[in-house]
Amino acid sequence: MGRGKYTTQEALEAQPEPTATCPIVRVLGPRGQNLHEVAVASSLVSPEINARLNADAQPWFTTLAQLPPRFRSVLWVRRGSYVLADLSDQLTDKIGGEIAMVLLAAQVKRLKQAGQWPSLYADKWAEISGHSSHAQPGSESDDQGNPNRRVVNDESSGSEPDSDSDDMLPRGNPNRRVIDDESSDASSD
């Protein structure tokens, strides 16, 4: 338990500082074996890294980043989150670097306040975290993210009696197909 305790404490209290060899990158998704595909902005890394990863002409490039053993089973990396990736030395021909730190929401907030957050990620963070200043709660864009979320249209005002409350309750398991018993009853009569 000692390793996980100190690793978690270090991750929560650390003050991340992005550099040209250890930039902030966006996680596109897991690829298995503790590897994560990350999107890197070419303008955030040094020219040597751009040349090594063949990203000279592109504004964005993707590479694989490995999660170190000390973070495994202690910290989890979600798709769309941000991490500091150490791209200074390429591990193999496919793995471009190693995840140095998983950025939490409080750390991202501190980076923005300090002016170290890249302007390339300003809109992306708002999309992911839902902290957008122009999105209103309950708007269309808010409901598109989760297909399992039920949409409830509340057209009744607070002064009307609550006679339709039975219609709002879920009926049965939403993960199962509904079989119409009415059609079989009508054909048997």
Confidence at residue 74, expressed as pLDDT on a 0 to 100 scale: 84
Instruction: Tell if the pTM clears 0.75, that is, is over it.
Output: no
Beta pairing class for 95-102 and 60-66: parallel
Confidence at residue 188, expressed as pLDDT on a 0 to 100 scale: 55
Task: Tell me: pLDDT of 177 over 80.
Answer: no
Closest listed residue to residue 71, CA positions, set 83, 88, 54: 83
Instruction: Tell me the per-residue pLDDT of 46-85, one tens digit each, with 9 for 90 and over.
Output: 888 877 776 666 788 899 999 999 888 888 899 999 999 9
DSSP 121-183: GHHHHHHHHS--SSPPTTSHHHHSS-TTSPP----S-TTS---THHHHS--S-TTS----HHH
End-to-end C-alpha distance for the chain, whole angstroms? 67
Structure tokens at 138: 């309950």
Confidence at residue 172, expressed as pLDDT on a 0 to 100 scale: 64
Instruction: Tell me the per-residue pLDDT of 132-171, one tens digit each, with 9 for 90 and over.
Output: 444 444 444 444 556 666 666 655 555 555 555 555 555 6
More confident residue, 101 or 184: 101
CB atoms within 10 A of CB 13: 8
**Residue 98 pLDDT level (bands cut at 50, 70, 90):** very high
